[in-house]
Amino acid sequence: MTKLLPTSTAGSLPKPSWLAEPEKLWSPWKLQNEELIAGKKDALILSLFDQLRAGIDIVSDGEQTRQHFVTTFIEHLSGVDFEKREVVKIRNRYDASVPTVVGAVERQKPVFVEDARFLRQLTSQPIKWALPGPMTMIDTLYDNHYKSREKLAWEFAKILNQEARELEAAGVDIIQFDEPAFNVFFDEVNDWGIAALERAVEGLKCETAVHICYGYGIKANTDWKKTLGTEWRQYEEAFPKLQTSSIDIISLECHNSRVPMDLLELIRGKKVMVGAIDVATNAIETPEEVAATLRKALQFVDADKLYPSNQLRHGAAIASGGERQAQCAKRRGGNYPQGAAG
């Protein structure tokens, strides 16, 4: 973009409470069948409306059609059994029951491409689309087939590249890969993690981004952050290789974190999406607070490469206002799911 300090959002945005239960990870859908399909589209429209009303320059789908930023993508792949579950330690810090890789993983058909086409029809604004990164995907599964984190990551990178190419063809301007695992598995990141990410973006002509955060939404993440001390220096491990990678934009957690801002010097020359809004609290930052975060970042990021953003909150949901719901109902000729406009 030619605009100075173009704004965007990191990834998921709140879902309407009529679509999914608020503030709950893997929140089940409240609608079914055709109503669910229509409801997801309505939620996407509402999310876009919120972004445009707020003056966001680079918009997204808000991940309105997904229950989870990783598993929703994996659900569409063959070779993964969601009924056969095992307990693994995710991000090397908490136990979770996860699906099992039982055979060769393959993408039988596009996952989010129709959603991207729908969003493209609704707006002329630049669109950013988030996908899970290869390393974060493998950290959300039990592998009983490849029995190698690296081999599975390369398979996912190939699949993600297939999806990314079709998203680009559908009109997406920036494709972002979410890699919170980059803040944990430092040896793997440098040995093959960034190389796998490069495979995922291979051949793309649109801009590419990687988002690396510290996690939200569950006690295990907040407890882990308390153990990190007065300075969070995890970014220091991946930044040198990311700086020399082909990834265009690096999206980071900054405001209210303990990340030393001078670490951004390690990625000088890259475009940087700076998280200046803290989504882990309901407190609303003042314009002065946001400006202060951006001014600190500008000491280490060239002004034409700074993208103000929020920080990520995967899968949260809140009630949407009646005004927005009524507008969406009007788009559908008043045929809105019962209770949605209340």
Q: What is the pLDDT of residue 315?
A: 46
Query: How does DSSP assign 254-270, residue by residue?
Result: -TTS---GGGGGGGTTS
Q: What is the pLDDT of residue 318?
A: 43
Is residue 157 included in any domain, yes or no? yes
At 63 the three-state DSSP class reads coil
Is residue 336 included in any domain, yes or no? no
Instruction: Count structural domains, the chain.
Output: 1
Is residue 38 included in any domain, yes or no? yes
Is residue 269 included in any domain, yes or no? yes
Query: How does DSSP assign 132-196, residue by residue?
Result: E-HHHHHTTSEESSS--HHHHHHHHHHHHHHHHHHHHHTT-SEEEEE-GGGGT-HHHIIIIIHHH
Is residue 191 included in any domain, yes or no? yes
Q: Report pTM.
A: 0.89
| Residuewise pLDDT in 10s, the chain (342 residues) | 689 999 999 888 989 999 998 777 788 999 999 999 999 999 999 999 999 999 999 999 999 999 988 999 999 999 999 999 999 887 777 788 999 999 999 999 999 999 999 999 999 999 999 999 999 999 999 999 999 999 999 999 999 999 999 999 999 999 999 999 998 898 999 999 999 999 999 999 999 999 987 666 666 666 755 666 677 788 888 999 999 999 999 998 776 677 788 999 999 999 999 988 877 677 888 999 999 999 999 999 999 999 999 876 544 444 444 444 434 434 444 333 333 332
CATH number, position 160? 3.20.20.210
To the nearest 10 degrees (0 to 180), the angle between helices 149-169 and 113-122 is: 30
Q: What is the pLDDT of residue 17?
A: 94
Which residue bears the tokens 């965007």?
A: 8
Is residue 69 included in any domain, yes or no? yes
Identify the burial level of 303 via C-beta atoms within 10 angstroms of its C-beta, where 0-12 means exposed, 13-18 middle and 19 or more buried. exposed
Amino acid found at 61 = D
- Give the Cα separation of 199 and 12 in Å (integer): 24
Query: What range does the domain containing 43 cover?
Result: 33-331
Is residue 178 included in any domain, yes or no? yes
Amino acid found at 266 = L
Is residue 26 included in any domain, yes or no? no
If you compute the radius of gyration of the chain from its CA atoms, what whole number of angstroms results?
19
Identify the burial level of 232 via C-beta atoms within 10 angstroms of its C-beta, where 0-12 means exposed, 13-18 middle and 19 or more buried. middle
Amino acid found at 312 = L
